[in-house]
Structure 1
Amino acid sequence: MTQDIFGQTVTLAPGGSLESWNATQMAFLAHSAATPTHLAETLTTAPDFALGHAVKAMFYLLLGRRELVATAQDALTQAKSALTTSSVTRREQRYVQALDIWMQGHPKAALDIFADILRQHPDDALAMKLDHALRFMLGDSTGMRRMIETVMPAYGTDHAARGYLLGCHAFTLEETGEYAAAQAAGRAGLELCPDDAWGLHAVAHVHDMTADAKGGLQWLTGREAAWAHCNNFRYHVWWHKALMHLDLGQIGHVLDLYDTEIRREKTDDYRDISNATSLLSRLELEGVNVGDRWEELAEFSAKRTEDGCLIFADLHYLLALVGDHRDQAIRDLMGRLHRDAARAATDIEKTMANPGLSAAAGLEAFGEGRYGQAFLALARARKTMQQAGGSHAQRDVFERLTIDAGIRAGFLDEAEGILADRTARRDGCLDGYALTRQGLIEDGRDAARVVARMPAE
């Protein structure tokens, strides 16, 4: 046994396997595309490393793909086998236990085990980041912040992951409405770890939530190296830049970023699909003709109708199917959602029921022009949409669709109320979307007054 880069005892001998394990952890913190390469090197040189197999499985689960569940199960089996053939620490055992219960469909219970690990080892940056990632997927922003602030005292100036911790703290501060503090933490983290794409993107979120698109573009421009090394997360940072151009009405820049960066690689990763579908939806709400861009997204999404790993992913697959009018695939996905919701045996299946069913029904109705039904369904889902996971910025596409459905259906007071609540969460700042919708609501009221004054026939 020896100690890793964060001072945690691991069942690895000094040398190559420890070096590659340290590289794995640092790459994971930075969202680096090299993460799986380093982990593969670790397990090649240390095939009985239980923690390595457990983390490999967790990485697969975080990808949210049904076909990778079996691969994750194989890694869990290897991790359990390694526990019986070598002496491991209690901390490493707890990782395997967290994975086991996560694999059974109970990620919230896995978080309880991560919390236990962090109580014993608050400076364990790997556990911190995994806990952070899983809470993000479950929409637990208050839990994310609480966890980060609990372990923060253990991260002194000499801790190798202090910059990444500050980046995570910045994101939790932003998601809980502390915008000035979030910006300060994100900037401080990036100074310590210049490749901290997560912290850089947390500051981009602040600019989004405070309607400062110009400031956001200034923040991102020239810092491309901070996310160039990333896995597909780099497409998400480009997505943020596209949102800023959209808010400024610079549609040409948005479409160019979509084609050259956001969909540079035509992947079917749910995170890439969510970037693309939510951006196209926003564009169409602004009256932009997006051409045939829905088609390739719908082709991928039609093959994911039976996935069911995350409601966040399913709803974005549905956006693609609705955007390209794939009626049979829409029916297939809706049918599977109903089956999962009826079972509701796992944490994920419960989100299929709530907010999943109402949100999906609303998206389907919106695509068919049934705006009254779309508004009622989306407004119902809105009450628990946080549980779908993701960030405020990512879920905002559903907020916009709800408001637009309300305006188109004539529910002007209700749409105005939701718009006001959206603005309040954004520190009272009005972005381009809010200003435009306020105008549409007033236009709708003016039209209603004209109709009311017309003489009856």
Structure 2
Amino acid sequence: MTTDLFGYALTLSNPKAGTHWDALVRAFLAHSAEAPTHLASALEAEPDFAMAHAAKGLFTLLLGRRELVPVARDALAAAEAAARRTQPSAREMAFVHALSAYLRDTPSEAVAEMERVLAAHPRDTFALKVGHAIRFVLGDNAGMRRSIERVMPAYDADHPARGYLLGCHAFALEETGDYAKAETAGRMGLSLAADDAWGLHAVAHVHDMTGNAQAGLDWLTGREAAWAHCNNFRYHVWWHKALMHLDLGDTEAVLALYDAEIRADKTDDYRDISNATSLLSRLELDGVDVGTRWEELAALSAERTEDGCLIFADLHYMLALIGGRREDAARDMLRRLSADARRTHPTEIEARMAKPGLHIATGLEAFGEADYRTAFLNLARGRQSLQAAGGSHAQRDVFERLTIDAGIRAGFVAEAEAILAERTAKRAGREDGYAAARREMIAAAQSWASPEQLPAE
């Protein structure tokens, strides 16, 4: 019988497939660029490996691209056909069922399948990480934490993926506001798994959320080897470093990182687009001229207006469209979002297009047209459910900043001040550079509006 690196049975006739599968799992946990190669090798060695076909489909859907959905459907068909021939275990079939659920636009059921695996097989870090990834897309940070903490007793010192578990725990702790524990878990995880870029970046999130940019730079500097092996996730870690330079006011370093690392490859992967658009938006809010950098992002995003796989992706495409002044494409996206919002029986994904998607997208378009009143009213309305768009606090913060700036510019100064105070409270009560600058702007606006500051007649 072939078993995986966690000691669980695999329905395989060729032991080499198991070796390749273990390599795929380790690569997936480390966000390694080699993961697709290991998966292909496992399927080449064992064409009837149902769980590997299912993994291919799940990985494909997590890319959030409409044109790749048929690839995921083909993977499901291959997995189901293989299962009829080989009769995999219930654990392996859970991944097939998860893929089927995700293709029906019910990713929460895919998560439930992974939880059923973990209830019976708590040492299965692959199932844990798949569920973690889908919960991230759904914005379910509390669920991330519960899932990890339920299985932690099964992770003794000899568990081969204990470091990666701690990295996931660090991120979940940070996203639920437990910053001190998050930093400890992330540091411990990296000491056990030197290539755990996820855990390393979780500690970077802690420094972002506690307004300690210099400590964040100190943490990342010299640890580049922990993310050099990564797929496009490495661009995201460089993005974190750029955010820290931005908070310290070193915009030249930000633009240098943008050109040399963050947009080193001009891909249209939504995760890469989100890094770039959110960074350029932050720079412009701080009065920095970003030159022609919007143009290639807008051109790529104009081709994605009908995508509709993830609202998180769509909102960042909209940032590119307003930044690059693609008014027609922005209206096309709003039209599609409006159609999604009117569906009588929306799927889980479509429901997010309506709430928070439509209000946020409408606010972004208005912001691009300098209609700050409309921008603020819509962005403020959408921010209450923005968590459902997925991503992290740091990623969603660009929309928070745009809401606050729209409020100040539109004269909703008290409302902007209240949102700024809420933002600071979520960050352990500590102000970052953005908050300090906006507090000064709000104070200046309030003093100008005060009667005693008006000139005498």
Shorter chain as denominator, the TM-score bin is: over 0.9
- Counterparts of 2:256 and 2:451, CA distance in 1: 42
Find the counterpart in structure 2 of residue 408 from structure 1.
Answer: 409
SS at match of 2:450: helix
Are 1:94 and 2:97 counterparts? Answer: no
- Deviation (angstroms), 1:15: 3.0
After superposition, residues 196-345 of structure 1 pair within 5 angstroms as: 196-343=196-343, 345=346
Structure-1 residue corresponding to 2:29: 29
Q: Distance in 2 between matches of 1:201 and 1:26?
A: 18
- Segment of structure 1 superposing worse, 241-250 or 325-334: 325-334
Identity value in percent: 63
Structure 2, unpaired ranges of 5+: none
Q: CA deviation at 1:451?
A: 8.0
Aligned-partner Cα distance in 2 for 1:16–1:236: 34
Q: 1:150-161 to 2 correspondence within 5 Å?
A: 150-161=150-161
Identify the residue that residue 178 of structure 2 maps to in structure 1.
178
Cα displacement (A) at 1:342: 1.5
Letter in 2 for 1:402: T
In the TM superposition, residue 98 of structure 1 has moved relative to its aligned partner by 1.3
Query: TM-score normalized by structure 2?
Result: 0.98
> What SS is found at the alignment partner of 2:54?
helix
> Using the alignment, how far apart are the partners of 2:167 and 2:324 within structure 1?
37
Q: Post-superposition shift, 1:453?
A: 3.0
RMSD of aligned Cα (Å): 1.0
In 1, are the aligned partners of 2:405 and 2:416 still within 8 Å (CA)? yes
Contact kept? 2:204, 2:220, Cα under 8 Å: yes
Task: Give, in angstroms, the shift of residue 440 of structure 1.
Answer: 0.1
Q: Is contact 2:14–2:46 with CA below 8 Å preserved after alignment?
A: no
AA aligned opposite 2:424:
T
Deviating more after overlay: 70-79 vs 341-350: 341-350
Partner in structure 1 of residue 397 of structure 2: 396
Who is 2:387 aligned against? Answer: 386
Q: 1: CA distance between counterparts of 2:127 and 2:35?
A: 16
Give the distance between the partners of 1:355 and 1:451, measured in 2 at CA: 41
- Structure 1's unaligned 5+ residue stretches are none
Letter in 1 for 2:428: D
Task: Measure the CA separation in 1 of the matches of 2:334 and 2:119.
Answer: 42
Aligned pair count? 456
Q: Quote the Cα distance in structure 2 between the aligned partners of 1:17 and 1:180.
A: 41
Q: Does 1:367 align with 2:337?
A: no
Report how far residue 116 of structure 1 moved.
1.0
The answer to whether 1:140 aligns with 2:140 is yes
4+ long deviations beyond 4 Å = none
**Amino acid in the other structure paired with 2:174:** E
Deviation at 1:7, TM superposition (A): 1.0
SS at match of 2:297: helix
3-state DSSP of counterpart to 2:264: coil
Q: Which amino acid aligns with 1:224?
A: E
> Which residue is equivalent to 1:353?
354
**One-letter amino acid of the structure 2 residue matched with residue 366 of structure 1:** F
- Code of the aligned partner of 1:6: F
Q: 2:283 corresponds to which letter in structure 1?
A: L
Q: Deviations over 1:5-53 (max 9, x none)?
A: 0111111246321111000000000000000000000001100000000
Opposite residue 21 of structure 2, the aligned amino acid is W
Aligned residue type for 2:328: Q
Q: Deviation of residue 455 (structure 1)?
A: 4.8
